[in-house]
Structure 1
Amino acid sequence: MSQPCISRREVKRHQTALRLQHCAAELTLEHGFDGWTIDELAAAADVSRRTVFNYFDGKAEVILGPEPEVDDAQVAEFVAGGPTGRLFDDLLVLAHEATREKADSDQHIAAVRQAVMSDPRLLQLVHERFEMAATLLGDCVRQREGDDFPKEKVRLLLRLLITCFDDALERVAEDGSTPFAQHFDATVADARTCLA
């Protein structure tokens, strides 16, 4: 099957968004999250302030990207017990879907991780996003497993998932030639070996 044709406009839009995100990560590493303005970002990326807001809702979204989304059909399949029938493996499928669109920007992901780890305000914003995502995933797990499924197990599953993400991000920083998804799969495989 052939790939759909992508217009030059879409390619340019994608490149501009990546340039804005890269510049925002660099500004954050140099000055901290609160140490730069949207005007400074626009100047660094050689675009207008208006262009920045045509692409992103604000500073946090420029750095972190839009909140990850998972297709409703995949969520429904997860809640129904699929796609593999194994809870953690099925959470991994959702995780892959949530990060799929970032596959061509692994170096940006590593730069964002570095920026987040160096700036308390940005770390707080990531924590808030994680709490929201964890609540939604926890609700999906309880819908799937039943209300009597222990909350401690839900929390542990989500922490394992986040630990695998964090380790995969470190691997991307060390080896940017391998895609994030492959690092993530390798991290999960290593965790399984350690726990076997």
Structure 2
Amino acid sequence: MPDLCSPNRREAKRVQTALRLQECGLQLTLEKGFDGWTIDDLAVAADVSRRTVFNYFDGKADVVLGPGIEVDQAKVDAFVAGGPTGRLFDDLIELAHEAVRDRTDEHLISLLRDAVVTDPRLLALVHTRLEEAATGFAECVRQREGDDFPSLQSRLLLKLLLTFFDNALDRTAEDPDRTFSEHFDATVADARSALA
């Protein structure tokens, strides 16, 4: 008989609950707008307690947007040390790719995109989250390249990166049969081809 209390099963259940809460939050946002529902509404929609929601998320924005962007510290350390390829732009793309690697639930990505384009408040929250991520990436670039690295060049790299994410979201909406990661890779390949 399988051990239902094993850490792997508990973690899998935790992930599934978090995904269900995010999906319900996105559905509520699409139906009522981001400011049109409460955590109590979410708890009812997901058939959980209010307390359960707060065991997973700090608030509505976290529910709808999902967890913040995180990259394995070893990957960050490798980037700051000049790796993995030694080419700044390529390594920055790899670091960005790593940040979205586990965020490949295409259904949730599609719902999030639909919610963002229909709700200005949510769009502002996404912009804030992306700016926070860009600040983190900029700090990694500064640590790698030194304080003398031109800030305008650093901001340009990060704006290109954000544009790649945005284009990959558009592509995901138009072609949901491919993963977000595949669309991100295609976006980067198209940009390289256009600039070659």
TM-score normalised by L of structure 2: 0.91
How far did 1:187 drift? 0.7
Relative to structure 1, is the Cα distance of residues 195 and 19 closer, same or farther in structure 2, using a 3 angstrom cutoff?
same
Relative to structure 1, is the Cα distance of residues 147 and 101 closer, same or farther in structure 2, using a 3 angstrom cutoff?
same
RMSD: 1.5
Asked if structure 2 preserves the Cα contact closer than 8 Å seen for 1:117 and 1:123, the reply is yes
Number of matched residues? Answer: 191
Tell me the distance in 2 between the aligned counterparts of 1:185 and 1:7: 31
Pairing 1:157–2:154 present: no
Pairing 1:55–2:56 present: yes
The one-character-per-residue Cα deviations of 1:96-129 (angstroms, maximum 9, x if unpaired) are: 21112212x1220121122122222212222222
2:188 is matched with 188
Tell me the distance in 2 between the aligned counterparts of 1:82 and 1:73: 11
The one-character-per-residue Cα deviations of 1:24-66 (angstroms, maximum 9, x if unpaired) are: 1111111111110011111111111111111111101101111
Asked if structure 2 preserves the Cα contact closer than 8 Å seen for 1:107 and 1:172, the reply is no
1:98 is matched with 99
1:83 is matched with 84
How far did 1:14 drift? 2.0
2:160 is paired with a residue of what secondary structure? helix
What is the 5 A alignment of 1:18-97?
A: 18-97=19-98
How far did 1:77 drift? 1.1
1:101 is paired with a residue of what secondary structure? coil
Letter in 1 for 2:82: G
TM-score normalised by L of structure 1: 0.91
The one-character-per-residue Cα deviations of 1:122-174 (angstroms, maximum 9, x if unpaired) are: 12222222222222211211221222211111111111111111111111112
How far did 1:6 drift? 7.2
Structure 2 stretches of 5 or more lacking a match? 1-5
Pairing 1:139–2:161 present: no
1:110 is paired with a residue of what secondary structure? helix
62-71 vs 118-127, greater mean Cα deviation: 118-127
Pairing 1:111–2:111 present: yes
Letter in 2 for 1:155: R
Asked if structure 2 preserves the Cα contact closer than 8 Å seen for 1:32 and 1:119, the reply is yes
Tell me the distance in 1 between the aligned counterparts of 2:108 and 2:54: 20
Letter in 1 for 2:145: E
Letter in 2 for 1:148: D
Tell me the distance in 2 between the aligned counterparts of 1:35 and 1:87: 43
Structure 1 stretches of 5 or more lacking a match? none
Tell me the distance in 1 between the aligned counterparts of 2:76 and 2:82: 10
Tell me the distance in 1 between the aligned counterparts of 2:108 and 2:189: 24
Tell me the distance in 1 between the aligned counterparts of 2:17 and 2:136: 31
Tell me the distance in 2 between the aligned counterparts of 1:134 and 1:14: 26
